Amino acid sequence: MKYNCTNWDKNSWLSSDIYFNDLNDLLITKLKIDDKCKILDIGCGRGYLLNNLSTKINFKKKLYGVEPVKHKKNTNKKISIFNKSIQEFLKENTNNYNIIIMKQVLHLIPSDEREALLHELKKIIPVDGKLVIMQMNEKFQLPCFPAMKKLLTKTLSHHQIIENELKNLFNIIQKEEYSFKVNLPRSTYIGMIEDKFISVLDYLSKEEIKEGCEYIQSRYPSNISFIDKLKINIFG
C-alpha cells in the first residue's frame, strides 16, 4: 500500500516556524549552503522547509520541491513545487542540484522503486553535491499506543536497509542529529492521530484508531512533552 501522508505536516510542530528555523540553521551550517546552491526537496509536503530557507538566504536560483499530494497552492515566488511523483519529475527535468533533500520520505517508497530512484538521483548530483536523508530516530519518544508503536518500530527497523542501499551508491560524509522539544495539548495530539498524521496509522482500522485515542487520553497528561529526534545522514 502506498501512503501519501496527507496530514503529516498539517497544523503541528512539524509545520511551525521555530521547527524549520532551527532545522534550517543546522542545515545551512553543516551543508555550507549559500546563495549559489541549487536545491531540490523531494517529498516537500506543504513546502515549509523551502519557504523558511528562502527567507534566510537570497538564492540566485529558485528552490524546487516535488510533492505528489496537492496542497494549498504555494504563493512564494522564490520556490516552485511540482505536484507529481519524483519519477515523473526526473523524466521531465535533467538539471543538476547541489543539494537534494529527502525528509522522512524514503521508507514510503517500495524497495524496487527506491533502488531505481537512487540510481536516477546519482545522475543529477554533481561530484561536489550532497544528498541529505532525514529519518526519525529509532529511539523515538513520540507518544504511542501499543498498535501504533508496534508498526512504527517495524517501519524504523528498515532504516538500516535503506542506509545500506544508499552506501552502495554514495559515500556517507557525515552524520548529524536534530532534536526539537515538543509541547502540545493532549487533545491536539489525539486530533493528529485521528487525522492519521503519520504513515503507520493508515494501516489501522477506525476501531483501532479509536481505541488508540482512548489509550492516549487515559495514559498521558493533558499537556504532552517529548523530544522529536531526526537522524540526518549526508551523502556525497
69: CATH: 3.40.50.150
Q: Does any domain span residue 206?
A: no
- Over residues 185-215, the pLDDT tens digits come to 999 999 999 999 988 999 999 999 999 999 9
Please indicate, yes or no, if residue 51 is contained in any of the structural domains.
Answer: yes
pLDDT at residue 3 in the model: 40
- Higher confidence at residue 17 or residue 148? 148
Per-residue pLDDT of 208-220, as tens digits, reads: 999 999 999 999 9
The residue segments making up the domain with residue 151 are: 13-183+225-235
Query: Which pLDDT belongs to residue 10?
Result: 57
How far, in Å, CA of 188 to CA of 197, rounded? 12
CB 235 within 8 A of CB 172: yes
Alpha carbon distance 198, 41 (integer Å): 19
Higher-pLDDT residue of 35 and 72 is: 35
Read off the amino acid at residue 195.
D
In a domain, 7, yes or no: no
Q: Tell me whether residue 192 is in a domain.
A: no
Q: Which of 93, 30, 94, 97 lies closest to 59, judged by CA?
A: 97
C-alpha cell at 229: 529526534
For residue 190, is it within any domain? no
Q: How far is CA 108 from the centre of its chain?
A: 10
Is residue 198 in a domain?
Answer: no
98 domain-assigned: yes
C-alpha to C-alpha distance for 135 and 185, rounded to whole angstroms: 25
Within 137-235, strands assigned E span: 172-185, 223-235
Any domain includes 215: no
Where residue 140 falls among pLDDT bands split at 50, 70, 90?
Answer: very high
The structural domain count of the chain equals: 1
Handedness of CA 151, 140, 218, 225 (dihedral sign): negative
Q: How far apart are CA 17 and CA 25, in angstroms?
A: 12
